[in-house]
Amino acid sequence: MADEARSETIDPAGRLSLNLSDAPSGLNLKHVYYFHHVATEGSIARAARRLNLSQSTISEQIKALEEFLDKPLFDRRRGGLRLNESGQRVFEHSKVMFKAARRMVQDLNPARNEFDWILEVGISPMVSMSFTVERLLPLFQLKDVTPRIRFGGYADLLEDLLSGELDLVLSENEPPEPHRPKVGLSPLSESALVVVASPVLAEKVTSYPNKLSTLPFVSYTQNSRYRWDLDAWFFEHGLNPEIAGEVDDVSLLTLLAQRSVGAVAVPEAVASAAILAGRLVKLGSVDGAAAIVYAHYSEVNTPELVRHAVSALVEGGKAGNTDLS
């Protein structure tokens, strides 16, 4: 009878007791919950205000979790707490746990959400900063939503999207074939890929694209779809320019071109302001190549809010320009 009275379950692998009560044995999810809030907020004081609890209560819960795991999770310093290596590992697990819980509530009964929905958005560096600022504005206007934006390489962002750590990814790439059924794509913008150079370098190109090899060229790394489009175009026209470097950031490429480091191929909308100001010269287009930014989202158990966010991004593009500016 005592066993029946305990609020305890067994994980699917049948190896770990998940204790949902205050009983002493097993992993107490309440301890993990309080730890997660302290790690998220950055201090016990802020977590206590967020949860409307006393600091001593939260401290006791964290101490109990540390005793259960037999590891300290924070470094105690004069300036406050800081996650140590073990704490970082626990935090990575807790983020997945409680994000899944929030997804469940948001999907089935959004009115029961106690806090704003954290909309996790990952952005590839190949998406220009001007596009990022302009197009993400509608997300900050969504009711009961707090966007959290981070940047990273496409492979890492896609992995986090598939694992549920991210809700949306903005990138010029499309997912590899094995992941296509799991990832939804919505095109947000399209712009021509153009070759630009500083006025000093542009004077040397008397015929486009034939004389383009007279200039150094700053290209993309192999992680970018633009790299393959550009290499194919070079091959088609028999071009073999000197590669001065490889960069996966269109804003940085534009700045390097203005400093006469070399010619670059970037979405026309990214370079349009510099072209109008006379800091760059448009030499011509990369035939058959288009710069398209896609919103990626998981097709598996996608919360309605994520679909609403994608719609807001698409509608934001229709209301303004359809390019990358």
Torsion sign over Cα 108, 110, 116, 117:
positive
pLDDT at 42: 84
Residues 6 or more apart from 94 whose CB is under 8 A from it? Answer: 32, 35, 36, 39
In three-state secondary structure terms, 314 is helix
Q: Is the pLDDT higher at 183 or at 116?
A: 183
User: ∠14-18-24 over CA atoms, to 5°?
Assistant: 125
Q: What is the pLDDT of residues 67-108, one digit of tens each?
A: 999 999 998 776 678 899 999 999 988 888 887 777 777 667
Q: What is the pLDDT of residues 2-27, one digit of tens each?
A: 444 444 444 443 344 445 555 445 78
Question: What CATH number belongs to 110-189+293-319?
Answer: 3.40.190.10
Band the pLDDT of 320: cuts 50, 70, 90: low
pLDDT at 5: 40
In DSSP notation, 260-306 reads TS-BEEEEHHHHHHHHHTTSSEEEEEEEEEEEEEEEEEESSS--HHH
Q: In CATH, what class is 2-97?
A: mainly alpha
Between helix 85-108 and helix 55-69 the angle, nearest 10°, is: 110
The whole-number average pLDDT for the span 173-186 is: 91
Residues 6 or more apart from 277 whose CB is under 8 A from it? Answer: none
Quick one: tokens of 49? 């205000």
Band the pLDDT of 304: cuts 50, 70, 90: confident
* Range of weakest confidence among 6-15, 244-253, 256-265, 272-281: 6-15
* pLDDT-above-90 percentage for the chain: 46
- DSSP letter for 315, please: H
* pLDDT-above-70 percentage for the chain: 86
Distance (Å, rounded) from C-alpha 115 to C-alpha 37?
12
pLDDT at 225: 85
Domain extents for the chain? 2-97, 110-189+293-319, 190-291
pLDDT at 17: 46
The answer to whether residues 123 and 169 touch, using CB atoms and an 8 Å cutoff, is yes
Summary mean pLDDT of the chain: 84
pLDDT at 260: 97
Band the pLDDT of 134: cuts 50, 70, 90: confident
pLDDT at 79: 63
Band the pLDDT of 285: cuts 50, 70, 90: very high
pLDDT at 65: 93
The whole-number average pLDDT for the span 39-55 is: 88
The whole-number average pLDDT for the span 106-129 is: 77
Cα 104 from chain centre: 22
Same fold across 2-97 and 190-291: no
CB count within 10 Å of CB 140 equals 12
Q: Is the pLDDT higher at 175 or at 17?
A: 175
Band the pLDDT of 262: cuts 50, 70, 90: very high
**Which amino acid is it at 5?**
A
**Which amino acid is it at 40?**
T
The whole-number average pLDDT for the span 160-165 is: 85
Distance (Å, rounded) from C-alpha 194 to C-alpha 30?
55
Query: Which among 10, 18, 60, 8 has a CA at the least distance from the CA of 35?
Result: 60
Distance (Å, rounded) from C-alpha 142 to C-alpha 128?
23
Band the pLDDT of 224: cuts 50, 70, 90: confident
Band the pLDDT of 114: cuts 50, 70, 90: low
Does 190-291 carry CATH code 3.30.230.10?
Answer: no
For 24, 40, 136, 280, 323, the CA distances from 98, given in Å and listed in that order, are 22, 12, 25, 48, 37
